[in-house]
Each structure stands twice: as C-alpha cells, then as structure tokens.
Amino acid sequence: MKRALLLITLASWSTGQIVFPDTYDSMIAKTVKPQRFQSSPQIVENNILNGNRAAVSAFSSPKAPTSALISGQNDQLPAVWSGRANSVISKGVARFALRVDGAVSATQARGIPAGNNENVIFSPLSVAAALALVLLGSAGKTFEEVSTLLGFNAGVDISRNSEIVHQMFGVLLDAISGTPGIPAPQSYFASGIFVRDGYPIRREFQAVSRDVYKSEVINLDFEKNGRDAQEKVNSWVSQKTRGKISEILREPPSPETKVIIASALYFNGEWNQFFIDGATKRKRFTVAPGEVVDVDMMFNGGEFPFFEDKELQAKIVGLPYKGKEVTMYVVLPTNRGVNALRDLESRLSAERLENLIGSTKNETCIIALPRMKLSSTLSLSRALQSLGLNSLFDPLSADLSLLSPGYTGASSQLQSNNPFANPSKTQAGVGLNDKISFPNRFGEDEETTTPLTSPLRRNFFSYDDRVGGYHVQQWATGFSISRIDRQRRRRSFRVALRKSAAHSNRARRQVRPIDQDFLNYVSQNRPSYGLDNLRNNLELTNPGLFAEDVIHRVEIDITEKGTEAAAVTAVTLTRDGSQKRLVADRPFLFFIRHESTGLLLFWGTVNKPTPNYPSEKRTT
C-alpha cells in the first residue's frame, strides 16, 4: 500500500501540467483559484503517525475538510518517520520530566534547613502540553527558550517547521485517551491559556490550539473582575476533568495579570493484577535517618517486568494497568544512604531511563508498595526560570506575538471559543462578529490579504520568478499565478534592512533539517495554518503579553485495586529464594508511562508517602 501511494504521488508529479510564468497573460482567465474558507482550518488527517486510509485519486476534486474526515481515516507514515517523530517528542518530554523534577526539588528545598522531604508529583505530559501552547503563540527569544526546554528542536529546523511538530505532538496526545472497547485507565486532561480581556486572539492560534491540542484560549477581565475570572478558570478545570478536580486557583488573580497558563490531569487506573486482598499492613517507612513514619504497605506477587541495574544501583519493576497500554514503573535505589534517591536522580537521563525500561523482563517478584493518595498544586514559574525559560515571565522580553496582535481595549469575551459566553449572543464561526480587529501588516486590503490557510491540495508546490515578478502555486487539480507587487517587495526589503538588528534574535536558529521527503509529504498532504510564515515576518508586533505563572495541579490514587471492585485474585508463591524483591520502604520514584508512545503521564519523587502515621514500636 505504501508503494502504491508512492507511485500515485510520483505519477501525479510526472503527469501534472507545469505552468510557466511567461504564460500568465494567456492563461490568467483559466486560473483555478484555491478555495478559501472563512472558518478556521481543520486537521483532515488527525493521526499522521498511524492508521489506514482508503485510496484517494490524486486527480479527484479537492474538498473542504470535514469533521467526518478528521475523526475518520488517516494516512500511514513510513515507520522511519513515525519512529523519528515519536522519539523526538517522547525523549523531549522525558528530559523535561527529569529537569523539572530536579528544579522543583531545588526550589522547594530553599529555606528548609533540615533538608527537603517534600514529594514532587507532576504530569510531564500535562505541563509540556501547556508549554506547547506557549510555543505555538510565541516568537523570538520566548520561542527559542520554550523549544529548547521541551527538546522539540532536536533534529528539526523548528522555526520553519513548528506546525509539523505541533501536529505530531497532537497525534500522540490523542493516543493516550485509549482505544474504545479496550479496558484502560481513565485520564481526564485539560490545558488552556487565559488572556486579559482586550487582547484579541489570532485566528491562526485559535485554529491550531483547538484542532491539534483540543484546548481553548479564553479572554477574562482580570483587572476589574478578578473573582469572576477565578470562578471561570475553576469552572473550566472542573468541566474538563469531569468534576474530578474542582479548582486550580485558590484565590483571585492579581489585577495586573495578563496571562494564566493552566493545566490539570486526573488519572485513575485499575491494575492488571491487583495487590493481594487483605495483605495490606502498617509498616515502617524510613524518610531519613532518625525519621520514620508508618504507612499502609500493600503487597503483591507474581510475574512482573523487573530489572536490577548494578551500575546505577537501582531496581525497577513495572506494574501494568488493565489493557497493558499504560504501566507504572517504580524505581528504588539499592543503597539505603540518606542521599541515595537524590544521587540516583542526578545520574538519570532520558536514555538511561529508556534503557532501564528496555532491560526489564518478566520475573517472579514480591512487591511491597505504600498505599498513597497524592495531590499537588505547583507554581512552576521559578522552576522553569531556573531551567532557562526566563523571557516568558519578563514583561520586557516576553514575545507572544502569535497569540495576539496586541491590546485593543475592546471587549472580546464574546468570542465563539469562549465556553462561558451566552450562545444566543455569539455568532457561529471564528472571530466574525466579535469586534476583534486584526491590523494589516503591509497595508493590504481585504481582497489581497493572504488567507488563513491553504486548503488541502495534493502534490502542492510553489515558487517565485523574481525576474519576471510572478508567484506560482500548483497542485494536482489546478494552479494559481499572481504578480509580485514590486513596490511591496521594495518596501519589504527596506523594512527588513531597518529591522534586521532589532530582530537578530529571530534570525539565530538552530538549523537541523528534517528529511526533505518528509517535508514534501507534509506540505502536500497536510493543511498549513500559516504560523511559521507569520512567526518569521519582520513586521510582527509584540503585544506586550507575559505570563505571571504556570500553575499545575495533579491528583493520583494508588490503591490495591483501583476505583472499581473486582474479584479477588489469588497468588501462590513458593519460597525457593528465586523471587526478585522490591520493598519500597524508603524514598523512591515512580513514573506512569504510555507504552506505545513512550510519553510520561506522571512523575513522582516520593520522599514521604501520604497518608502516613506516627510510627509505633513493633517487634516484627
């Protein structure tokens, strides 16, 4: 099938009519103009990594994207491309998890002279998805810092191909929701950006955030109605987590707030093999030398993925959830020293973490793990700044140019993407009757302004004839030729010279080219939102938006069975001494991983399990 698709593509390229610029005058009347959509673009093939699609003729008439196509059939990429995309993003999220864990631990430890015994619980995926929205709306230094922090610039000229990275990440996010009909953990995810009222949101940003990340951008009046803004943010979180998390803001935001980035994730899974019913007992947990608490220790036995790394001085065991699409891995230092866990984490890397997982094999194990209810609300601004993301929180250097064109003062609460707006007063579509103004950058009138996106056009390519002054676009079923405005070209050139120094930070990019065949495939088969062209436009103005904080809340219960009662599973073990043992009676770390994508849903450094109880003396 892949070869057939390749042959169809090559045939359409080889048999398609080539249009030369000097035929413009004789053919202008016959030019087929591309269809322009007033509404925001939709992703036609929602999953570019996996899936099958019925064969489509390269010469069939182009059709407007529909929701049926979005959720329907998808192209299947060659394994080398899908594997590369998975690797870049999943490893980036893993590196991000390790760095955030260290940064949060460091910021929590400040001012605690006796040491840091706080647990660090967060969702790397949730925070990364929230920051991906920042990447989507950023330019200049902010864009560079976020892409570096997330690791999305590895192997990619990110400044010119960010839409590809976003679409790939969106596909992986879709994958974690599970396959219908297959038992799997429940995960409720929400991320969004709340912007001060009066800052209209660019339609390009709205389209990608909604279609790729299923997120909203919502305008609120922080300045005059902070209490109402607080209630609406919390209502949004509760709605998106189906009531599992009721609030993320515990007090109204300050009147000076311009942007709040919020993410929340609730996870509840049922073990593939329950812990032994009735075996849970109060056992000691050594937090640090001289500090001991009691915890409810659960016990399990049977065959589980296990490995002991002698060099790293650590054991790892995998506890699969039902369906085996998601696994919780517990990593325990074999050394019982006071800094054993901290030393272990300092030596971990994304590659070592992957090697640990890959080295596991099914072994007969005896496992002891505290029953835990973990809840955390983190303010991540200091941690992220310590990792190099400084400009986002600095009003002088933050650059969110692709999020909004700037402050207009006009109320924009009645945008069609605002879930709190009165439906009877909101027009269908995006930004048509909501008084949002988008100032023209080069003085174009509405007839000559570049459309929001080019529709899906098979075998699309374009080029400029600088000598003749023509711009040519051609695809399988048509072509378009237009003259290049010489006055505009001269004006643009002067603007570029005048602003080259001021925008030099945007010109400095880490260029790591993507496979050209892959870029060709994407340009021919995926709609473009025009974000990368907009980002590299020297006329782009900075709206003066900056982030006050990145707030993250996570809740997770780790129990014997999960949320649903089920029949007791009996486990019989013989005492022949061959069983592998992992008894988490001292600080350990865990992470919950979606196996097919490699994405880390949760990360936890557990120094003191909750709940815990004052230790009682016992003889056993």
Is it the case that residue 47 has pLDDT exceeding 60? no
Q: pLDDT at position 614, please?
A: 92
559/413 Cα distance (integer angstroms)? 43
For the chain, give the number of residues. Answer: 620
- Which long-range contacts link 236-242 to residues 24+ away (Cβ below 8 Å)? 236/190, 236/192, 236/262, 236/419, 236/420, 237/190, 237/262, 237/264, 237/553, 239/419, 240/188, 240/189, 240/190, 240/192, 240/264, 241/188, 241/189, 241/190, 241/265, 241/266, 242/188, 242/266
Q: pLDDT at position 181, please?
A: 66
Mean pLDDT of 436-463: 36
Our CA dihedral for 323, 325, 326, 331, rounded to 10 degrees, sits at 100
Least confident of 1-5, 301-305, 334-338: 1-5
Is it the case that residue 465 has pLDDT exceeding 70? no
Q: pLDDT at position 472, please?
A: 62
Question: Confidence class of residue 154 from pLDDT cuts 50, 70 and 90?
Answer: low
Question: Confidence class of residue 110 from pLDDT cuts 50, 70 and 90?
Answer: low
Mean pLDDT of 139-151: 93
Side-chain-side CA neighbours of 453 within 13 Å: the count stands at 27
Question: Confidence class of residue 523 from pLDDT cuts 50, 70 and 90?
Answer: low
DSSP states of 422-490: -GGGS-SSSSSSS------SS---TTTSPPS-BPP-TT-EEEEETTTTEEEEEETTEEEEEE--HHHHH
Least confident of 310-319, 354-363, 384-393, 478-487: 478-487
Mean pLDDT of 361-374: 94
Mean pLDDT of 491-502: 39
Q: pLDDT at position 485, please?
A: 54
Is it the case that residue 481 has pLDDT exceeding 50? yes
pTM of the model as a whole: 0.70
Is it the case that residue 22 has pLDDT exceeding 90? no
Q: pLDDT at position 240, please?
A: 79
Neighbours of 524 (CB within 10 A): 19
103 or 7: which leads in pLDDT: 103
575-615: per-residue pLDDT in tens?
455 689 999 999 999 999 999 889 999 999 999 999 999 98
- Range among 121-135, 154-168, 441-455 with highest mean pLDDT value: 121-135
Question: Confidence class of residue 519 from pLDDT cuts 50, 70 and 90?
Answer: low
CB 275 within 8 A of CB 298: yes
Least confident of 171-175, 326-330, 493-497, 594-598: 493-497
Q: pLDDT at position 258, please?
A: 84
Instruction: Name which of 164, 172, 206 is nearest 189 in CA terms.
Output: 172
Instruction: Name which of 407, 399, 413, 385 is nearest 549 in CA terms.
Output: 385
- Range among 279-293, 371-385, 408-422, 459-473 with highest mean pLDDT value: 279-293
Determine which helix (DSSP H) or strand (DSSP E) holds 518, and give its type and residue range: helix 516-525
240-249: per-residue pLDDT in tens?
777 778 888 8
Instruction: Name which of 48, 58, 54, 65 is nearest 8 in CA terms.
Output: 58
Mean pLDDT of 523-535: 75
The runs of H, that is alpha helices, within 176-259 are 203-211, 226-240
Our CA dihedral for 426, 430, 432, 433, rounded to 10 degrees, sits at 20
Is it the case that residue 203 has pLDDT exceeding 90? no
Instruction: Name which of 225, 250, 227 is nearest 237 in CA terms.
Output: 250
205 or 441: which leads in pLDDT: 205
401-425: per-residue pLDDT in tens?
999 888 887 655 433 344 333 333 3
Mean pLDDT of 122-131: 90
> Can you say whether the dihedral through the CA atoms of 527, 531, 533, 534 is positive or negative?
positive
Report the share of the chain in percent with pLDDT over 70. Answer: 60
Is it the case that residue 343 has pLDDT exceeding 90? yes
Instruction: Name which of 17, 492, 601 is nearest 265 in CA terms.
Output: 601
List domains and CATH numbers for the chain: 79-269+377-405+520-553 (3.30.497.10), 270-371+565-611 (2.30.39.10)
- Pairing of β 478-483 and β 550-558: unpaired
Q: pLDDT at position 249, please?
A: 85
Is it the case that residue 118 has pLDDT exceeding 70? yes
DSSP states of 254-272: PTT--EEEEEEEEEE--BS
Is it the case that residue 67 has pLDDT exceeding 80? no
> In angstroms, how far is CA 37 from the centroid of its own chain?
27
**165 class by beta-carbon count within 10 Å (0-12 exposed, 13-18 middle, 19+ buried):** buried
218-228: per-residue pLDDT in tens?
889 998 999 99
Mean pLDDT of 282-306: 95
Our CA dihedral for 354, 360, 365, 368, rounded to 10 degrees, sits at 0
